[in-house]
């Protein structure tokens, strides 16, 4: 699918035609515009915690500035931050990595871009289970790879099976990319489920795996499992993680990978030309995040869990909405296809995008259409906002959907 949402009057590079503006960002922009006109919009489109960054992390940034950490850091990140990441991987995930197998970037988004550009050649096939995070497709298209989707169904909690994976792999498959906990569905692969997928990957040694674990700490079912734990795969797995979600640090722009040394060296080469490395002050703050008290992160997860329970039980009580219980992240991803073909006498809902627009204009709530994530029967609702706001938003949603007959 080639989408150009921005009209350029100048003739610019053709690669721009391969990517579209993320629907999430488009909806957030629209929501801001309506708010600026004085309309009381509740924005449930955002993928960021509504909490402030914990104080001890902010204090570390201030101290870093005062201590003179204001110069270029090493391209791959400060040595002590890379070391802190190794400790974190050992402590939380029982994974052993050396500092030269770790690299820091300007957000997990850049970590992903570095990895995709380091692995994918033009024409290579990249497998992405649906629903997927919007950016995966765009990054693969920029690398001139060919995206092949593996459909995750609501019946299977939006997870793929080993049989589906086996059937999707061809001689041209170069990479498999996924997130667990998943944005947008909140699905979490268990150790057994990952072990079964790992068995398939063992039979296909040409396939790399990008495992996006950015929502690791926002997990409601217990221990986070990484596919990097299966040692036979270890050299082909690029584990991606970051600080945005678990530490409420979206604006700091700090993420990292753990991978084979050669992949890290390739990413470092690219990053050296793109950014010269991540922000030095954010990096110092990142050390405080990883080595400091995790209580604020745990409290945030507890708050997300209460909101999840409220949001899902309320959605399940709205006629026509089919919602599964997310095990992680902070999104509900209900199936709203029962409204397709219905009308309030003025607007007829043909698809998920129409429904998202209907909710925005008639209900003053911003959501994101599922087609942005490869699932056009659904919409995404972020519950990274206060319980009071969520109560008001879901009341508006119930009333607005009831208009459709």
What mask of x and - would describe binding to ligand PLP in positions 111 to 150, judged by CB under 6 A?
A: ----------------------x-----------------
By beta-carbon proximity to ligand PLP, the closer residue of 211 and 364 is 211
193 touches ligand PLP (CB under 6 A):
no
> Is 94 exposed, middle or buried, given 0-12, 13-18 or 19+ CB atoms closer than 10 A?
exposed
Number of residues that bind ligand PLP (CB under 6 A): 13
CB 45 within 8 A of CB 31: yes
Query: Of the candidates 45, 141, 173, 250, which one interacts with ligand PLP according to CB under 6 A?
Result: 250
Of 60, 116, 214, 237, the one binding ligand PLP by CB under 6 A = 214
Residue 336 CB, nearest distance to ligand PLP (Å)? 21
Pairing mode, if any, of strands 237-242 and 208-212? Answer: parallel
- Contact between residue 263 and residue 303 where contact means Cβ atoms under 8 Å apart: no
Residue 136's CB is within 10 A of a number of other CB atoms, namely 23
Contact 177, 143 (CB under 8 A): no
- Contact assessment for residue 174 and residue 126, using Cβ atoms and an 8 Å cutoff: yes
Least distance (Å) between residue 213 CB and ligand PLP:
9
Nearer to ligand PLP, 284 or 380 (CB): 380
| Binding segment toward ligand PLP, per CB under 6 A, in 106-114, 286-294, 383-391, 392-400 | 106-114
**Minimum CB–partner distance for residue 119 and ligand PLP (Å):** 17
Shortest reach from residue 403's CB to ligand PLP, in Å: 31
Question: What's 370's DSSP letter?
Answer: G
**Of 377 and 382, CB closest to ligand PLP:** 382
Region of 353 (left: φ > 0; alpha: ψ -120 to 50; beta: rest) is alpha
**399 CB contacts (<8 Å, ≥6 apart)?**
363
Q: Which of 118, 139, 173, 179 binds ligand PLP (CB under 6 A)?
A: 179
Residue 85, C-beta contacts closer than 8 angstroms, at least 6 positions apart: 97, 99, 102, 104, 256, 258, 290
CA 265 – CA 330 distance, rounded (Å): 33
**CB distance 36 to 230 below 8 Å:** no
Shorter beta-carbon distance to ligand PLP: residue 251 or 341: 251
Residue of 118, 183, 187, 271 interacting with ligand PLP (CB under 6 A): 183
Q: Which of residues 18-57 bind ligand PLP (CB under 6 A)?
A: 47
Q: Based on the shown chain and the rule CB under 6 A, indicate whether residue 212 belongs to the binding site for ligand PLP.
A: yes
Q: How far is the CB of 77 from ligand PLP (least distance, A)?
A: 14
Which residues 259-288 are close enough to bind ligand PLP by CB under 6 A? none
Q: How far apart are CA 366 and CA 388, in angstroms?
A: 16
Select from 3-11, 65-73, 242-250, 276-284 the region that touches ligand PLP (CB under 6 A).
242-250
Smallest gap, in angstroms, from Cβ of residue 366 to ligand PLP? 16
Q: Which residue stretch of 28-36, 102-110, 304-312, 347-355 sits at the interface with ligand PLP (rule: CB under 6 A)?
A: 102-110
Q: Go through 239-250 and write b for each residue having 16 or more CB atoms within 10 A of its CB, e for each that does not.
A: bbbbbbbbbbbb
CA 161, 185, 90, 298 dihedral sign is negative
> Where does this chain bind ligand PLP (CB under 6 A)?
47, 107-109, 133, 179, 183, 212, 214, 242, 244, 250, 255
């Amino acid at each position: 699918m080639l989408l150009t949402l921005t009209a350029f009057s100048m003739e610019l590079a053709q690669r721009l035609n391969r990517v579209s503006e993320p629907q999430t960002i488009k909806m957030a922009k629209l929501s801001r515009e309506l708010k600026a006109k004085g309309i009381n919009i509740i924005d449930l489109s955002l993928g960021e915690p509504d909490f402030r960054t914990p104080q001890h992390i902010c204090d570390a940034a201030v101290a870093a500035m005062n201590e003179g950490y204001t110069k270029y850091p090493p391209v791959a990140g400060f040595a002590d931050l890379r070391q802190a990441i190794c400790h974190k991987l050992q402590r939380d995930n029982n994974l052993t990595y050396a500092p030269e197998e770790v690299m820091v970037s300007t957000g997990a988004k850049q970590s992903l871009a570095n990895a995709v550009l380091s692995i994918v050649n033009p024409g290579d096939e990249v497998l992405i289970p649906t629903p997927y995070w919007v950016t995966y497709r765009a990054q693969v298209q920029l690398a001139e790879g060919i995206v092949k989707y593996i459909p995750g169904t609501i019946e299977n909690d939006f997870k793929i099976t080993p049989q589906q994976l086996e059937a999707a792999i061809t001689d041209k498959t170069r990479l498999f990319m996924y997130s667990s906990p998943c944005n947008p569905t909140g699905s979490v692969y268990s150790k057994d489920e990952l072990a079964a997928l790992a068995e398939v990957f063992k039979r296909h040694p040409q396939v790399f795996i990008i495992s996006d674990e950015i929502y690791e700490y926002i997990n409601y079912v217990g221990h986070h499992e990484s596919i990097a734990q299966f040692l036979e795969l270890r050299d082909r797995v690029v584990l991606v993680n970051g600080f945005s979600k678990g530490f409420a640090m979206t604006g700091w722009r700090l993420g990292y990978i753990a991978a084979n040394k050669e992949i890290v060296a390739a990413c470092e080469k690219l990053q050296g030309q793109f950014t010269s490395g991540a922000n030095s002050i954010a990096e110092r703050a990142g050390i405080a995040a990883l080595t400091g008290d995790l209580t604020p992160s745990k409290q945030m997860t507890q708050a997300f869990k209460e909101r999840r329970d409220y949001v899902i039980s309320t959605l399940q009580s709205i006629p026509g909405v089919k919602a599964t219980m997310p095990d992680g992240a902070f999104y509900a991803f209900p199936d709203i296809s029962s409204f397709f073909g219905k009308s309030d006498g003025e607007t007829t809902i043909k698809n998920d995008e129409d429904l998202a627009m209907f909710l925005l204009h008639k209900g003053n709530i911003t959501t994101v259409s599922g087609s942005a994530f490869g699932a056009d029967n659904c919409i995404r609702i972020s519950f990274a906002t206060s319980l009071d706001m969520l109560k008001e938003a879901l009341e508006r949603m119930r009333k607005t959907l009831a208009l459709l007959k």
